[in-house]
Chains A and B, each alone.
Chain A
Amino acid sequence: MTREIEAPNGDDTGPAVLSARDLSHAFSAGARRLPVIERISFDVASESWLTFLGPSGCGKTTLLRILAGLIQVDVGTVTTRSRLGLPFGTAYLPQSDTLLPWRTALDNAILAQEIAGIRRSESREEARRLFEQFGLGGFESRYPMQLSGGMRQRVAIIRTSLEHRDILLLDEPLGSLDPLTRFSVQDWLLDVWSQLRKSIVLVTHDVEEALVLSDRVHLLSGRPATIRRSIDVGLERPRDRSGHELADQKRALLESLMGGLP
Chain B
Amino acid sequence: MRRTERGSRSHGVAGRAWDVFLPLALLVLLLGLWEGLVRGMNVPPYLLPPPSRIFAGFFTRFGFLWPHILATLGEILLGLAMGAAGGFALGSAMFYWPTFDRAVRPFVIASQMVPVFAIAPLLIVWMGYGLWPKAIVAALISFFPVAVNSLDGLRAANPETVDLLYSFGATEWQTFRKLRMPAGLPQILSGLKIGATLAVVGATIGEWIGGQRGLGYLMLQANAQLRMETVFASILALTIIGLLVFGGFRIIERRLLRWQHPDDLA
A interface residues with partner B (beta carbon < 8 Å): 65, 68-70, 91-96, 98, 100-103, 111-112, 114-116, 139, 142-143, 145-148, 151, 163
- Interchain CA distance A169-B2 in the complex, whole Å: 29
Bound form: Cα–Cα A146–B257 in Å = 15
Taking the nearest CB of chain B, how far is it from the CB of A114, in angstroms?
A: 7
The interface stretch among B102-110, B160-168, B234-242, B244-252 is: B160-168
CB of B164 within 8 A of CB of A94, answer yes
The docked-state distance in angstroms from the alpha carbon of A91 to that of B167 is 7
Chain A positions within 8 Å of B260 at CB level: 101
Minimum Cβ distance to chain B for residue A70 (Å): 5
Give the total number of A-B pairs whose CB atoms are below 8 A apart: 63
Closest residue of B by beta carbon distance from A70: B163
Cβ-based interface call for B99 (8 A)? no
- Closest chain-A Cβ to B154's Cβ sits at a distance in Å of 15
* Pairwise interchain contact B161-A94, C-beta atoms closer than 8 A: yes
B158 within 8 A of A: yes
- A96:B182 contact, CB within 8 angstroms: no
Query: Which residues of the other chain, B, contact A145 by a CB distance below 8 angstroms?
Result: 3, 262
A-B contact pairs, 29 of them (CB 8 A): A65-B163, A70-B167, A91-B167, A94-B160, A94-B161, A96-B158, A98-B160, A98-B164, A100-B161, A100-B178, A100-B182, A100-B183, A101-B259, A102-B259, A103-B259, A111-B165, A111-B168, A112-B168, A115-B165, A115-B170, A116-B168, A116-B169, A143-B262, A146-B1, A146-B2, A146-B3, A146-B263, A147-B1, A151-B1
CA distance A163 to B179 in the complex (A): 18
A95 to chain B: closest residue by CB: B160
Q: Which chain A residues border B111 with CB–CB below 8 Å? A: none
Most buried by A among B170, B262, B263: B262
In the complex, chain B residues whose CB is within 8 Å of the CB of A95: 160
B178 touches A115 (CB 8 A): yes
- Cβ of B174 within 8 Å of any chain A Cβ, yes or no, is yes
Note all chain B residues with C-beta closer than 8 A to A70. 163, 166-167
**Shortest Cβ distance from B239 into chain A, in angstroms?**
34
Closest to A112 in B: B168
With a cutoff of 8 Å between Cβ atoms, the chain A residues found around residue B163 in the complex are 65, 70, 92, 94
Q: Sorted from nearest, which 3 A-B pairs have the closest CB atoms?
A: A94-B160, A143-B262, A102-B259
How would residues 1 to 45 of chain B score, 1 for a CB under 8 Å from any chain A CB and 0 otherwise? 111000000000000000000000000000000000000000000
Closest to A143 in B: B262
Known contacts A101-B259, A148-B3, A151-B1; A68/B167 CB under 8 A: yes
Structural contact, B167 and A98, CB atoms closer than 8 A: no
Q: With a CB–CB cut-off of 8 A, which chain B residues contact A65?
A: 163
Of all chain B residues, the one with the shortest Cβ separation from A142 is B262
Contacts of B158 in A (CB 8 A): 96, 98
Q: Report B-chain residues with C-beta under 8 Å of the C-beta of A139.
A: 1
**Cα A26 to Cα B260 with chains together (Å):** 41
CA distance A97 to B168 in the complex (A): 16
How far apart are A83's CB and chain B's nearest CB, in angstroms? 20
B263 touching A163 by the CB < 8 A rule? Answer: no
